[in-house]
Amino acid sequence: MGILWYGGEDIDFPFGEKPTTFATIYNRSGYARCGIGCVTSAWSNTFPGGGITSGWLHCQIYPSSSFGPYLVVGLVADNGWAGYWIGKGTNTYRLYKYTASGYVQVDEEAGTSVINANMQSLDMCLTNYGASGNIKVYFNGTEIIDYTADLTISGVTEFTRVGLAGSHVGGRATLSEIIVANEDTRNMSLVTLAPNAAGDVNSWTGAYTDIDETAWADTDLIYTDTDGNQFMCNLSTLPTGTFTIRTVKMAVRASRTGSPTPTSLDVGVKSGGSVDVADNHALSLPWLTYERFMDLNPITSSAWSGAEITALQAVVEAEA
């Protein structure tokens, strides 16, 4: 059991159309820096543990108009669209199936849960993808859709990504705190820790202010041409409250030039005075998002504590 993937900013959705970043009214203060939406479609990296045929999808949603219908968020295949999506009618949430023939509504809540211009929580539970599967949708923790049918989509054996979609008939919704897990996500939250101060070491050219933007900008960057050079930065911290910290992810958008070295990037953290950058990523010439998931503090091999998150520094190291 565990959390499989999570993200909440445009860097987490590097494929398809780049998501649009919205002002802070569209997200929970202290948890996310922004909300994201999409003009057409965008999708995440593949889940690091592989595709799923059962699982949960969670998000915070801010429906920003009374129009509909349109798709919002879904569990999808590698092509970024084939799968099952939560969508929005005028005042209702709907379930859509997306195949090579396009998308079709397969279920709709009996009530009118949509509260426009208001933050709310959505969860989708997919069980036993295949001939006799089930999908449930929850609004603020309460079940609103229960759909049992042949869920099979031609050419799709499992779901490997999260997909975002934009408006189809006017209006749109803005998302944040997106989580995929193989356990109940209804009580889960995602906190974005962003660069907010210089760290203990910086052997690269540039500073944390070159990588702290909410919306990615590949022309605003840090760089190095020397193997072993490290860059560290301090991070924002947790909101007020008591939390069990299940996992930490570091997401880095990076590329390399055609020069011989460095060709790889080590990604990690500094915690309790020690550094762990064991996760090595071979870089490509195009810009891509590279992720490292750390369910345990890699330095202590124990669960993360709030104090460790408060003092955490992000670390990247150039390698041959």
SS3 of residue 24 by DSSP:
helix
CATH of the domain at 60: 2.60.120.200
Q: Count how many Cα atoms sit within 13 Å of the Cα of residue 165 in the half-sphere of its side chain.
A: 25
Q: Is residue 187 part of a domain?
A: no
Residue 297 within a domain = yes
**53-77 mean pLDDT:** 91
- The tens digit of pLDDT for each residue in 286-312 reads 999 999 999 999 999 999 999 999 999
CA 94, 79, 181, 34 torsion-angle sign: negative
Summarised one tens digit per residue, pLDDT across range 206-238 is 999 999 999 999 999 999 999 999 999 999 999
Helix (H) / strand (E) containing 307: helix 306-310
User: 94: which residues sit within 8 A by CB, 6+ positions away?
Assistant: 69, 86, 87, 88, 105, 107, 108, 109, 145
Q: Please indicate, yes or no, if residue 124 is contained in any of the structural domains.
A: yes
* Residue 26, phi then psi, degrees to nearest 5: -95, 20
Task: Give me 278's structure tokens.
Answer: 């064991």
Asked whether residue 259 is assigned to any structural domain, the reply reads yes
Task: Enter the tokens of residue 55.
Answer: 């699982």
Radius of gyration over every alpha carbon of the chain, rounded to an integer in angstroms: 20
Domain count, the chain: 2
Quick check: 170 pLDDT over 90? no
- Sequence-distant (6+) residues with CB within 8 A of 260 are none
In a shared domain, residues 171 and 202: no
Which amino acid would we find at residue 203?
A: S
> Is 32's pLDDT higher than 80?
yes
Same-domain check for residues 200 and 177: no
The whole-number pLDDT of residue 1 equals 56
Range of the domain at 170: 3-181
Count the Cβ atoms, other than its own, within 10 Å of residue 41. 20
Answer yes or no: are the C-beta atoms of 45 and 161 closer than 8 Å: yes
